[in-house]
Amino acid sequence: MSALPLDETGDVLIKPLSAHIGAEIHGVDLTHPLTPSQVSAIRAALLKWRVVFFREQFLSHEQHVAFSAQFGELTVGHPVFGHVDGHPEVYSIAKHRKATRFEGEPIRRPWSGWHTDVTAAVNPPFASILRGVTIPPYGGDTQWTNLVIAYQKLSAPLRGFIDGLRGVHRFTPPPGAAATSEFVDAVQRRSLVSEHPLVRVHPETGERALYVSPTFLKHVVSLTARESQALLELLWEHVTRPDFTVRFKWEPGSLAFWDNRSTAHLAPTDIFDLDFDRQLYRTTLVGDVPVGPDGRASVSIEGSPVEAAAAFALN
């Protein structure tokens, strides 16, 4: 019988959760500053496993921000939908967020709801750090997928075709649903539209990731509407294959830290069939401008880059 695949780096214990993505990290207390070796071990695990999880970390907003700042510069909570009062770096992920709810029943497809955070911006966040506070006793799991392995598992001819393609990302309601007034007001106040490569070269590892956020990517540049639809639906179906994913069951005090450059994730919808409340809080770290295999960087069509929270507070 083989041993459990654990990786011990000093006092940091890393426990992988699936073949391609996800690991739990034990042996650290996130309420206090980490040592340089702990920061290094966590960052290495993030690059390898794409999303890492911590349990029983009961952080305040201030401690959440302090933990996040050890890995990069924090953005404002959300560049379009705001932040928690008094905490410009923190965004509330509540069960009934008015700004991101829609009217009507959206068309449900296998990839519905999957997304990479804020890809409508020209410099999407490098990472997102989500903290569970009020958690249902069951339901409400979040899933992540590995966009690097998804790219690698495509056929060589298809990889060669999409390596030079680019797509337009923006905030819009899902197909079949209508925007609420809160959503329209928020998007009009801070319109963000960007053109990104369909394949992104990871700035730290050099790996290629299939950068096709299903919620935000609307069409492929230079293709006809039908060609674009067919290609994107093929890619979206591919990136959400179960064998590329990990599913996380939240508990109070759980924390998920994911690399936004190489993952997409799916927020739960089963919580709306339950009477339980659900409240999480997220911070994000300032990201760079994506670059494709051809060396071409993303470009902004509308809006400006996502600012650091410190810069946002001065405006």
Q: What Cα–Cα distance (Å) separates residue 222 from each residue in 168, 206, 225, 250, 266?
A: 11, 26, 9, 42, 29
Asked if 202 is an active-site residue, the reply is: no
Q: Is the pLDDT of residue 3 over 50?
A: no
Instruction: With beta carbons less than 8 A apart as the criterion, state whether 195 and 299 touch.
Output: yes
Residue 239, Cβ density class (10 Å: 0-12 exposed, 13-18 middle, ≥19 buried): buried
Q: Out of 3.60.10.10, 3.30.428.10, 3.60.130.10, 3.90.1200.10, which CATH number does the structure's domain 7-314 have?
A: 3.60.130.10
**Active-site residue among 43, 117, 166, 238?**
117
The pLDDT, as a whole number, for residue 247 is: 98
Comparing 9-13, 137-141, 253-257, which segment has the lowest mean pLDDT?
9-13
Rounded Cα distance between 73 and 8, Å, is 27
Sheet containing strand 51-54, edge to edge, reads 7-9, 12-16, 23-26, 51-54, 255-259, 127-134, 279-285, 91-94
The ranges assigned to domains in the chain are 7-314
The pLDDT, as a whole number, for residue 100 is: 57
Q: Look at the chain and count its residues.
A: 315
For residues 171, 175, 180, 181, the Cα torsion angle rounded to the nearest 10 degrees is 60
Counting Cα atoms < 13 Å in the Cβ hemisphere of 216 gives 25
Instruction: With beta carbons less than 8 A apart as the criterion, state whether 50 and 146 touch.
Output: yes
Across-strand partners of 8?
Answer: 13
The pLDDT, as a whole number, for residue 145 is: 98
Rounded to an integer, the average pLDDT of 147-167 is 98
Q: Is the pLDDT of residue 14 over 50?
A: yes
The pLDDT, as a whole number, for residue 307 is: 87
Asked if 282 is an active-site residue, the reply is: yes
Picking from 37, 40, 8, the residue whose alpha carbon sits closest to that of residue 25 is 8
**Active-site residue among 50, 115, 166, 169?**
115
Counting Cα atoms < 13 Å in the Cβ hemisphere of 149 gives 21
**Active-site residue among 43, 78, 261, 282?**
282
The angle at the Cα of 184, spanning 179 to 265, to the nearest 5 degrees, equals: 65
Instruction: State the CB neighbour count (10 A cutoff) for residue 29.
Output: 12
Picking from 293, 311, 241, 315, the residue whose alpha carbon sits closest to that of residue 73 is 311
Kindly report, residue by residue over 224-278, the tens digit of the pLDDT: 999 999 999 999 999 999 999 999 999 999 999 999 999 999 999 999 999 999 9
Residue 23 has φ and ψ, to the nearest 5°, of -150, 145
Asked if 108 is an active-site residue, the reply is: no
**Active-site residue among 64, 200, 238, 265?**
265
Picking from 62, 241, 220, 276, the residue whose alpha carbon sits closest to that of residue 147 is 241
- pLDDT band, very low/low/confident/very high, at 52 (cuts 50, 70, 90): very high
Helix, strand, coil percentages in the chain from 3-state DSSP, rounded to 5: 25, 30, 45
The pLDDT, as a whole number, for residue 174 is: 61
Proportion of the chain above pLDDT 70, given as a percent: 88
CB-based contacts of 168: which residues, under 8 Å, 6+ apart?
193, 194, 195, 217, 218, 219, 221, 301
Instruction: With beta carbons less than 8 A apart as the criterion, state whether 38 and 10 touch.
Output: yes
* pTM of the shown model: 0.91
User: Which helix (H) or strand (E) element contains residue 69?
Assistant: helix 61-69
Rounded to an integer, the average pLDDT of 200-204 is 98
Asked if 265 is an active-site residue, the reply is: yes
- pLDDT band, very low/low/confident/very high, at 196 (cuts 50, 70, 90): very high
Query: Which amino acid is it at 158?
Result: L
Sheet containing strand 263-266, edge to edge, reads 114-115, 263-266, 142-146, 245-248
- Per-position DSSP letters for 80-146, written without gaps between them: TTB-BTTBTT-EEEETT-GGG-EES-PPP-TTTTEE-TTTTSSS--SEEEEEEEE--SS---EEEEE
Q: Is the pLDDT of residue 4 over 50?
A: no
